[in-house]
Chain A
Amino acid sequence: MIVIGGGVTGAGVARDLALRGVSVLLLEKNDWGAGTSGSSTWMIHGGLRYLEYDWQTTRLSCEDAGHIVEIARHLVHRVLFLIPVLPDDPHGIEQIETVMEVYDRYQPLKHAHPHLRLNAEELLHVEPGLARDLVGGVTVEEWGVDPHRLTWANVLDAVEHGARALNHARVTSLVRDGAQVIGARYARDGTEVEARARVVINAAGPWSPEVAAMAGQEVRLRPAKGIHLVYDRRLSNFVISTEAVDGRDILLVPHGPITVLGTTDDDFFGDLDDVEVTADEVDYLLQAVARVFPAIQRLRPVRATTGVRPTLYEWRPNEDRLSRRHELFEHPHAPGLLTITGGKLSMYRLMAEETADAACRRLGVQARSQTKQARLPGSESEAPAAGELAREHRVTALAATNVLRRHGCRAGAVLEDPRHGRLACRCEHLPEADLAHAARHEQARSLADAFRRVGLAAGPCAGAACIDRAAQVIGRELGWSASQQVEAAREFLLGAWLGRAPLLERRGWAQEEMAYAARRGYAS
């Protein structure tokens, strides 16, 4: 089978099929998780909002979040929401706590604690940066995850079970025999290749209408653009939840060494490969959070991310009320093609299982899905303690914790290379061994791929201090010449500009001066 799309859903489908013993080719036009998956809010949540519509969906969502937590133990962490209530909030604290009490019934399904209620004094003790005029608040617990690592872990497991997975391989057309879809043509490294398959699965997210159209099929979506602001550090130990000026929920979410603030949700009609962040969107998010967390105005965002959700088509509801449900299109007029679209990160495993079931029915494969139980690479056994790993491999304990967060029980193998004990990126405390491993074993083919795989240049200097050395380390693994290394560094710094530009009026000039000074050396 061929799976088109290397977001978390496509990677999950490829893994599910590979674990059943099916031969799979997975194709991604950019890098693993570089599209919608990577621009999410980085959470596996249980669907609290569905309690207003359908409690069964909340139960299913919590159940599947529980499966993901079990199979990806080293990749997930608890995120605890503080939901502060202000005197003028439309829903009083008793109404909000009622919803949390209902949600508590489902929390054990995903191994989470029940909610807590805090008075204003307790809230200010837990998070002293909150506004002073609080009524009180409640907590709710969800799980956080790095979507890039989650996607890669699925790709890696698929490959370890016999799949072939190619990033930077853009599908240019589908191979057809009459109406029947029998394969795909893709371009990679300047050459076009034709691959045949009995079933082609379109898991291209917001690009899925484009892929379906290659077989003359229509898949209708209502794409929604969402932006996030990224801060280079944890701003609080707790997620702060608030409402924007239009009543939409906005979250400030700590994830390891960064904080993600988002998201917007707007109908999108433009070019999916060229989505820009506007200053208005940035102001909308900052205004919302400043209402309950005034300190945000004095903190420095380092970049903005943007993505497009593949929301299923509906006429009339405003963007925020659109369902996040998913749908599997069987395409009866194009046998051999399946499309899976819609959905959300938290439901990726279930979407993948349903898609693989449908594909296996067509092939007569009897094997059943194993993805509820089979752990992802790195979570197969207990990981070593950070101190022990640091002593054994002569890296700082902070670097060891970072490697453990990415690789779990496989961290020791990553650090085995004795040539790479030094740090490639001091902000991220990223050992050169991990960076070299990303190039050698994790399909990082550019510095931007390394940013997604191991967090290269995700910190305060945005690559200005480390990108030269990183280009050398990766270049040595991939056989780049000296001029190719310089070009790769230049390309990375210029590409990062697009994410920084909308933030420059917001305390980002010092970082920009640094990046400019670094880039000046590469000017042609």
Chain B
Amino acid sequence: MSRADAMVRLAGAFARHELRRRLRRLPRGGGRRLLEMYAADNLRPLTAAERELLPAASACINCGLCALVAARVSGLRPADLAAAYLRDYPRLPAAASDLVGDSPSGLAEAAAACPVGVPLGGVLVMIRRLATA
């Protein structure tokens, strides 16, 4: 098939598309179907607040200073939340068992001690929401 043939076939496809659109035969409501179709892959949206939080969370360099201030979260260092757990949301439901238990005291103080300003309390809330299957 030459490029000319390919373009002619695409033009035909466009004409059919336009006809179906004018007859209102094209499926819509893609947003809802997207969430259903990809739920099994855990491909879910971030909320606007989480999107806003992410740049500050991604500043973490895993220096470990926060571990000197805050208690561990179910055995994890506070830095692990931003440096490891908040990196791959679709796999968080499989790792939810690592995150059970009460929120530890001292996360606000640890965030204040962080040299790059990672909001550790907000990170824990975000991770726990994303870990909920």
A514 at interface by CB-CB < 8 Å: yes
Contact B14 A95 (CB under 8 A): yes
How many residue pairs between the two chains, A and B, have CB atoms under 8 Å in the bound complex?
A: 183
- B window 71-113: CB within 8 A of A: 76-77, 79-80, 82-91, 94-98
Identify B84's interface contact among A235, A300, A387, A429, CB under 8 A: A429
Contact A56 B89 (CB under 8 A): no
Query: Across the two chains, which residue of chain A brings its CB closest to B34?
Result: A116
B contact residues, range: 35 or more
* Bound complex: CA A126 to CA B35 (Å): 8
* Bound complex: CA A257 to CA B34 (Å): 22
A51 at interface by CB-CB < 8 Å: yes
What is the total number of residues of chain A having a CB less than 8 Å from a CB of chain B? 69
Contacts of B27 in A (CB 8 A): 117
Contact A398 B85 (CB under 8 A): yes
- B window 6-43: CB within 8 A of A: 6-7, 9-10, 13-14, 17-18, 21, 26-28, 30-35, 37-38, 41-43
Contacts of B1 in A (CB 8 A): 54-56
* Bound complex: CA A197 to CA B30 (Å): 57
Q: Mark A223-258, 1 if CB is under 8 A from B, else 0.
A: 000000001111111100000000000000000111
A396 at interface by CB-CB < 8 Å: yes
- Known A53-B3, A113-B37: A398·B91 in contact at CB below 8 Å: yes
B61 at interface by CB-CB < 8 Å: yes
A128 at interface by CB-CB < 8 Å: yes
Contact B34 A94 (CB under 8 A): no
Q: How far is the CB of A74 from chain B (nearest CB, A)?
A: 13
Q: Mark A169-184, 1 if CB is under 8 A from B, else 0.
A: 0000000000000000
Contact A97 B89 (CB under 8 A): no
Contact A80 B18 (CB under 8 A): no
Contact B30 A122 (CB under 8 A): yes
Q: How far is the CB of B96 from chain A (nearest CB, A)?
A: 7
Identify B97's interface contact among A78, A123, A397, A460, CB under 8 A: A397
B44 at interface by CB-CB < 8 Å: yes
Contact A461 B85 (CB under 8 A): no
Query: Across the two chains, which residue of chain A brings its CB closest to B74?
Result: A396
Contact A53 B58 (CB under 8 A): no
* Bound complex: CA A400 to CA B58 (Å): 23
- Known A235-B54, A256-B88, A396-B95: A427·B10 in contact at CB below 8 Å: no
The prevalent SS among residues of B at the interface is helix
* Bound complex: CA A390 to CA B77 (Å): 18
Contact B96 A460 (CB under 8 A): no
A441 at interface by CB-CB < 8 Å: no
* Bound complex: CA A429 to CA B87 (Å): 11
Question: Among A101, A126, A127, which residue has the most Cβ atoms of chain B within 10 A?
Answer: A126
Q: How far is the CB of A510 from chain B (nearest CB, A)?
A: 5
B59 at interface by CB-CB < 8 Å: yes
* Bound complex: CA A79 to CA B51 (Å): 19
- A window 421-478: CB within 8 A of B: 426-429, 459-461, 464-465
A98 at interface by CB-CB < 8 Å: yes
Contacts of B116 in A (CB 8 A): 510
Identify A234's interface contact among B18, B33, B47, B88, CB under 8 A: B88
Contact A397 B94 (CB under 8 A): yes
Identify A52's interface contact among B10, B14, B86, B97, CB under 8 A: B10
- Known A257-B87, A299-B55, A398-B91: A236·B46 in contact at CB below 8 Å: yes
A306 at interface by CB-CB < 8 Å: no
A36 at interface by CB-CB < 8 Å: no
* Bound complex: CA A234 to CA B41 (Å): 15
* Bound complex: CA A291 to CA B48 (Å): 18
Q: How far is the CB of B100 from chain A (nearest CB, A)?
A: 11
A118 at interface by CB-CB < 8 Å: yes
Interface pairs A-B: 8 shortest CB-CB: A122-B31, A116-B30, A257-B87, A298-B55, A398-B95, A233-B87, A461-B62, A257-B88
- Chain A residues within CB distance 8 Å of chain B: 51-56, 77-78, 80, 94-95, 97-99, 101-102, 113, 116-119, 121-123, 125-129, 138-139, 231-238, 256-258, 295, 298-300, 385-387, 390, 396-398, 400-401, 405, 426-429, 459-461, 464-465, 507, 510-511, 514
Give 23 pairs: A residue, B residue, CB < 8 Å, sorted on A.
A52-B3, A52-B7, A55-B6, A94-B21, A101-B13, A113-B37, A116-B31, A118-B31, A119-B28, A119-B30, A128-B51, A139-B34, A234-B89, A237-B44, A298-B55, A386-B94, A396-B76, A397-B96, A398-B85, A426-B80, A460-B83, A465-B63, A510-B59
Taking A236-B46, A397-B94, A460-B83 as known contacts, 15 extra A-B pairs with beta carbons closer than 8 A to each other, sorted by chain A number, are: A52-B3, A55-B9, A80-B38, A80-B43, A98-B10, A118-B34, A119-B31, A232-B58, A233-B87, A233-B88, A396-B98, A459-B83, A460-B82, A465-B62, A510-B116
